[in-house]
């Protein structure tokens, strides 16, 4: 191997930061390490699967869905919310702060068997996934609808919500529980 090898400079300061600096040659860079241990991220890194926002929420207080009306489903309780991007008290929406492609799923269970019910995932108010018409669930007199989609989110203003509709002739309540009326999403791939 020919050529001279330049040195790498390591220095620290009173803030606890350690600076690892590559030689001053074309394409050289400076890497600043955090004071805590763990994975180092730089501006060259991007979030990938397993590193980005993820949440899981469910309905813990029964919501009534009026006849012949679209209603936003309220998911009041979080199983987890890794980046605090799900609003479980006001807008019941997921607004991820990392741009990328998100896998999103929802499940809505009505307390009555009706073929005239469905749910949908909306991005910024427009449908991106619809469930099939309500189908019998567990052989009893309930209907469930479910939808899932892989969707791009810009990491700043894009948001996701779940809406439900039913036309049974009267109001229907949703069935509460972590595996009955639920909403979740995670970053599958960064932008």
Distance between CA atoms of 5 and 144, rounded to whole angstroms? 66
Tens-place pLDDT, residues 17-62: 666 556 666 665 565 656 666 555 554 555 555 678 999 999 999 9
Domain boundaries defined on the chain: 1-45, 54-190
Tens-place pLDDT, residues 80-135: 999 999 999 999 999 999 999 999 999 988 887 666 788 999 999 999 998 876 55
Q: Are 145 and 132 in contact (CB under 8 A)?
A: yes
Structure token pair of residue 108: 């809505």
Tens-place pLDDT, residues 155-191: 999 999 999 988 888 888 888 888 889 999 999 998 8
- What's the topology of domain 54-190? Jelly Rolls (2.60.120)
51: CB partners within 8 A, 6+ apart: 187
Q: What is the pTM of this model?
A: 0.72
Distance between CA atoms of 188 and 152, rounded to whole angstroms? 10
Confidence (pLDDT) at 113? 64
Structure token pair of residue 30: 């400076």
Distance between CA atoms of 55 and 96, rounded to whole angstroms? 10
């Amino acid at each position: 191997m020919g050529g001279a090898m330049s040195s790498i400079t390591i220095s620290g300061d009173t803030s606890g930061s350690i600076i690892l600096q590559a030689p001053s040659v074309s394409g050289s860079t400076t890497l600043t390490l955090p004071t805590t241990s763990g994975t180092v991220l730089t501006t060259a890194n991007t979030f990938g699967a397993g590193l980005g926002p993820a949440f899981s929420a469910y309905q813990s207080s029964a919501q009534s869905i009026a006849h012949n009306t679209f209603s936003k489903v309220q998911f009041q309780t979080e199983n987890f919310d890794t980046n605090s991007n799900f609003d479980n008290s006001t807008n019941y929406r997921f607004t991820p702060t990392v741009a990328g492609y998100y896998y999103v799923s929802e499940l809505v269970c009505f307390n009555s068997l009706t073929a005239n019910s469905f749910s949908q995932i909306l991005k910024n108010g427009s449908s991106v996934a619809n469930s099939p018409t309500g189908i019998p669930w567990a052989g009893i007199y309930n209907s469930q609808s479910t939808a899932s989609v892989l969707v791009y989110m810009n990491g700043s203003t894009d948001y996701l919500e779940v809406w439900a509709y039913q036309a049974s002739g009267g109001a229907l309540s949703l069935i509460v529980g972590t595996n009955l009326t639920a909403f979740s999403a995670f970053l599958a791939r960064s932008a």
